[in-house]
Amino acid sequence: MTDSYDLVVIGAGSGGVRAARMAATYGAKVAIIEEFRVGGTCVIRGCVPKKLYVYASRFHDLFDVASSFGWQVDASFDWPTLVAAKEKEITRLESAYVANLEKPGVEIIRDRGLVTGPNGVHLVRQARDLTAKFILIATGAHPHIPHIPGAELAITSNEAFDLPALPHSILIEGGGYIAVEFATIFAGLGVDTTIIYRGDCVLRGFDEDMRRGLEAGLTDRGIKLIYQTTIKSLAKHGNDISATFSDGVTAPFGAVMFATGRTPNVRGLGLDKAGVQLESSGAIKVDAWSQSTVPSIYAVGDVTGRAALTPVAIREGWYFAETVFNNNRLAVDHSQIPTAVFSDPEIGTIGLTEAEAATHGDIDVYVARFRPMMNTLSTRTERMILKLITEKDGGKVLGCHILGSGAAEMIQLVAIPVGMGASKPDFDRAIALHPSAAEELVTFKAPTYTYRNGEKIGG
């Protein structure tokens, strides 16, 4: 038995769902195949549960300063309550995703789909074949697990949300946003937390002030940082896991987590049979319109190895539907993507880092460091950092980087003028909202330092 469609989508994550729904609203006959849960990594075991857990972990800081404002707090934390509440919410969201697909007539197929050719998909469990004018691969990515002895004893972000109990201590390998976010979560919930990373500072690729500011913030929260070291092996040690490091040191931990990157979900999909080419990273090679090397096969989201962010996958899925099914050829601009790291302190960033901008010509750099108002009545010394990078002499804003409470909310709004090509005078025309941390972005009078002919001056 063979069923024919205009579009078959493999993967019901954010990108695949948006593409399927939009294509169906344009009159296409669409099927979407998902072997796990509708919603993908973001909804089920990524952004949404992570942010809920981050909220839970931040009560620790609030309780810490509460006495400064006259509150006396005697609080305790119950992990199973948080897990159950999280599950209730992602189940609600999954139901909403399903309803949004069914409303325009998308057929949801709970199965594993394999590509059999430029226009063919095989359903493994049903042993059924589908044909489609177009195929969209939106299978996302999965956590990378290092090939070391005892690796099976560790967890990844997939399992971290549903642990039967909180460990007394945890070792997290990695220095990216997943590593620092989960370190924040576990430490905030009372777990003795250690990060081990092969580099010399967390968040490689981010602005240096953000990296060092976060490093200080993590340390202030009691998170231990071990740099230029990796895990060589893991072994069971009673109820704990014994980790042996690359420097020969061995230590026991209640749990070990790998946050060492993510790998595109392409293995076993049959893409080679269809002639789809992959990048050296294993990601599907696509052009600006998400089209693979096979004209009838497209790909969006993390599986393409572009920007592994949910809103980007959604935009790619939307633009795919516009291009293929609405005769409106659109390509996603990946050059201006706001990014948030939900650690403590939080980071929000848009545009070029200082190091990147300095290679683009003469620039001015404005930096404000100050103690947030929330902490002024307490003994906490943590400081916020707001940084604006512009072309020289009040030119175009090239980048904005914020570290501290509310950074993500601020950077979303900053992304609008930056995307419009705003200049420093455009920011200056805005009247400051006082008292707020964000007012610093519109009250910079003179550059903190500059770069002229590649040389840093001042600062």
- List residues with catalytic annotation: 434
Beta-strand relationship, 449-452 and 455-458:
antiparallel
Distance CA 41, CA 13 (A): 7
Give the helix ranges, DSSP H, for 232-309.
271-274
Indicate the residue type of 125.
Answer: R
- Dihedral pair phi/psi, residue 425, rounded to 5°: -60, -30
Distance CA 249, CA 229 (A): 10
Residue 91 neighbours by CB distance under 10 Å: 14
Alpha-carbon dihedral sign for residues 395, 401, 405, 408: positive
Indicate the residue type of 406.
Answer: G
Indicate the residue type of 133.
Answer: K
Beta-strand relationship, 455-458 and 128-137:
unpaired
Which positions ≥6 away from 275 have C-beta within 8 Å? 118, 293, 294
Give, rounded to a whole angstrom, the gap between the first and last alpha carbons of the chain: 71
Distance CA 49, CA 45 (A): 6
Distance CA 41, CA 25 (A): 25
Distance CA 350, CA 307 (A): 13
Residue with tokens 């590509």: 115
Whats the size of the chain, residue-wise?
Answer: 459
Distance CA 323, CA 28 (A): 13
Answer for the pair 241, 153: CB distance below 8 angstroms, yes or no: yes
Distance CA 45, CA 303 (A): 17
Q: Is 95 helix (H, G, I), strand (E, B) or coil?
A: helix
Distance CA 95, CA 12 (A): 13
Q: Of 114, 93, 102, 100, whose CA–CA distance to 35 is shortest? A: 114
Which positions ≥6 away from 398 have C-beta within 8 Å? 351, 352, 357, 360, 363, 389, 390, 391
Q: What angle do CA 328, 109, 120 make, to 5 degrees?
A: 65
